Structure 1
Amino acid sequence: MKIGILGSGAIGLLFASRLTLAGADPLCLTRSPAAADGLRAGVHLAYATPQASANATATRETVPLRATTQPADLATCDVVLICVKAYQAEAAAANLAAAWASLPADGPPLPLLLSLMNGLEAEAPFRRLLPAANVAVAVTYAGAARLGPANLRVAGLGPSLLPVLAPPADDLIAQLAALLNAAGLPTELAADSRRQQWTKAIVNAVINPLAALAGIRNGLVPAQAGFAQQAEAIIDEAIAVAAAEGLSLPAAPLCDKVRQTCQATADNECSLLTDLKAGRPTEIDWLNGAIARLARRHGLAAPVNEALWQAIKGRSGGQPES
């Protein structure tokens, strides 16, 4: 199986490195020759704990990766893992679409595009600009932070959930799941990918803004004053919005998942916090922002999600939404 990786942030580099160590030899798309050279020289992984490594004896590894700057090169893959930030999705999808538009019509089929992006509707540009039937959504609870262009701190190898797809994509998904498990990235198939996407988005909508605003790692979030009340309010608002979108989500499993994720990625700084520290844009528009926007669309109120959305926008230098 030929695997492409679109995006060289924390999750993209983690999956690329683990797959490379397992012999899968994925191909990473980067934006510049210098970045590609850096990946070829090796990504440096530092495991926060023995449990964060598939090899309990390893605390550090350097993994040279295959890399390209040409989007057309990914067209020869069977599966491309979309690991860009949600705010990069529009440009990344347009870049692929432009490069692939000149491919021969009678050539091999385009790859399955499997989104591992955070948030709600982050994959929409790929569905709009590329064949929508080729786009599917997975979720991962792996925890990692990029400390530099080729330096990664791995806090936990949480589970990944891949969608159950119709033939012929079902065979690709099964092969990918086997490769990820062999790479030490625990992976299962989940029949309801939309439910899994919402569940992950709600979990992130609780942990990420609270951790980012407090400036703390995930494991410390549940100990913050007022955490239980805030988490309950975020989840209740999100559940009401999901119901308006035709999806029933019970509260108790979501509350449990939040605490489990905090524990599993206790040593991890969430991406929202690392982005704020680095002065980068954040994915808040696709987390609490998405919940608030969808609430408005359905005539619902989501004041806690709205307030967190605006607070992060203010911290990141973005314009508050009205």
Structure 2
Amino acid sequence: MKIVVIGAGAMGLRYGVLLQEAGNTVHFVDTWEPNVEEIQKNGGVTVWRDGKDERFVEISISYPEEYHDEPELAIVFVKDMHTVETMERCKHFIGENTYVLTNQNGFGGAEYIAQFVPRDRIIAGTAMIGTVMKGPGKVDFIGKRGAGHVHIVKVKGTPDAFIYRVADEMEKALMHPTVQEDYMGTVWTKLVFNSVVNTLCTLMNIKMGQFAAYKNSKEMSRKLVDEAYDAIDAEGFKMEVTRDELVDQVMFVSEVGNPLHYPSMHQDMSTNRPTEVDYINGAIVRLAEKHGLKAPYHSMLVDLVHLKEESRKYND
């Protein structure tokens, strides 16, 4: 399959490298100049696995304006707030038959992509995979090879032959995909997961395993999940898992799956980039308000993350 990965950050590199090593033709486009220049200079990226087993992987990369092939699949991994401007720079190579896949963290990425691509050619989903960008052209894959899993779902319509082709290639790459049928339920399940782990680990400057080790972590998770599910139930979304199952998933992934991982929001905070909290906890607050409900826990977390963002200007 001919694939272009839009956004050669942590997750973009992980998806692209794994799919390339599974036999696909993969090209990366990125807008972060230090990253593009470093990768072009070296002809590839340095990859670690849990901080060990350093290796070099040859990849091809360019700025969006320099890429003119027509891929079968474009995989978008940019921050939600940058989706529209990035897609504007990439729209010239999105052909009439190109599908676009996004596993972005918050709610909004697929909706922004729909300004450029018909909804029946957009594949959304979730990724339970941890990855850390260590610098331009340097990425650390968290977890053993084959750890983690991916859910993919068409934004409009039922699963078609192409989404199963994507799933086959992901399986060859040991990404363990599952094809789902409910777009909103799939995306919101991961969003609520992120609203707990991403946000609390960011505020406390801790890894997922350190969060899980706190004696009241499960109770904190339960309060945030319940508040989110109240809004989701009012909207009528059919979630992939029950409240109890999602709380258990938060604890299992934090304790067993990725205990040494700093979530992506933490990585943004620590590198002085804007976070996606408005697209995660903020999305829950907006959904609750739509139905006349309150979401005080999530509302407070949004303010606390933004306060921490503002406080960075006082750091030496």
The two structures have a TM-score, normalised by structure 2, of 0.88
1:73-117 alpha-carbon deviations (Å, 9 max, x no partner) = 3661111111111121121223234x35xx9xxxx6241111110
The answer as to 2:156 corresponding to 1:162 is no
The answer as to 2:246 corresponding to 1:254 is yes
Contact kept, 8 Å, 1:139 with 1:197, in 2: the verdict is: yes
The answer as to 2:134 corresponding to 1:147 is yes
Matched residue of 1:81: which SS? strand
Find the aligned partners of 1:144 and 1:269 in 2 and give their Cα distance: 9
The answer as to 2:117 corresponding to 1:130 is yes
The answer as to 2:48 corresponding to 1:46 is yes
Relative distance call for 1:301 and 1:168 in structure 2 (3 A) is closer
Find the aligned partners of 1:4 and 1:168 in 2 and give their Cα distance: 24
1:187-233 alpha-carbon deviations (Å, 9 max, x no partner) = 22122232121111111101011111111111121222432222111
Instruction: Report the CA distance between 1:284 and its aligned residue.
Output: 0.5
After TM superposition, the structure 1 = structure 2 runs for residues 206-221 of structure 1, keeping only pairs within 5 Å, are 206-221=196-211
Question: Quick one: percent identity of the two aligned structures?
Answer: 23
Contact kept, 8 Å, 1:85 with 1:117, in 2: the verdict is: yes
Instruction: Report the CA distance between 1:23 and its aligned residue.
Output: 2.3
Matched residue of 1:279: which SS? coil
What is residue 61 of structure 2 aligned with on the other side?
A: 67
Relative distance call for 1:302 and 1:169 in structure 2 (3 A) is closer
Find the aligned partners of 1:60 and 1:162 in 2 and give their Cα distance: 30
From 56, 64, 76, give the equivalent of 1:82: 76
What is residue 167 of structure 2 aligned with on the other side?
A: 177
What is residue 54 of structure 1 aligned with on the other side?
A: none
1:274-301 alpha-carbon deviations (Å, 9 max, x no partner) = 1111110001111111101221122110
What is residue 15 of structure 1 aligned with on the other side?
A: 15
Find the aligned partners of 2:155 and 2:286 in 1 and give their Cα distance: 29
Relative distance call for 1:285 and 1:167 in structure 2 (3 A) is closer
Relative distance call for 1:195 and 1:32 in structure 2 (3 A) is closer
From 276, 282, 302, give the equivalent of 2:275: 282
Find the aligned partners of 2:106 and 2:228 in 1 and give their Cα distance: 12
Instruction: Report the CA distance between 1:72 and its aligned residue.
Output: 7.5
The answer as to 2:66 corresponding to 1:28 is no
Matched residue of 1:198: which SS? helix
Instruction: Report the CA distance between 1:258 and its aligned residue.
Output: 0.8
Find the aligned partners of 1:23 and 1:298 in 2 and give their Cα distance: 48
The two structures have a TM-score, normalised by structure 1, of 0.86
Letter in 1 for 2:270: K
Matched residue of 2:56: which SS? strand
Letter in 1 for 2:62: T
Cα root mean square deviation, aligned: 2.4
Find the aligned partners of 2:234 and 2:286 in 1 and give their Cα distance: 12
Find the aligned partners of 1:226 and 1:132 in 2 and give their Cα distance: 41
Letter in 2 for 1:48: D
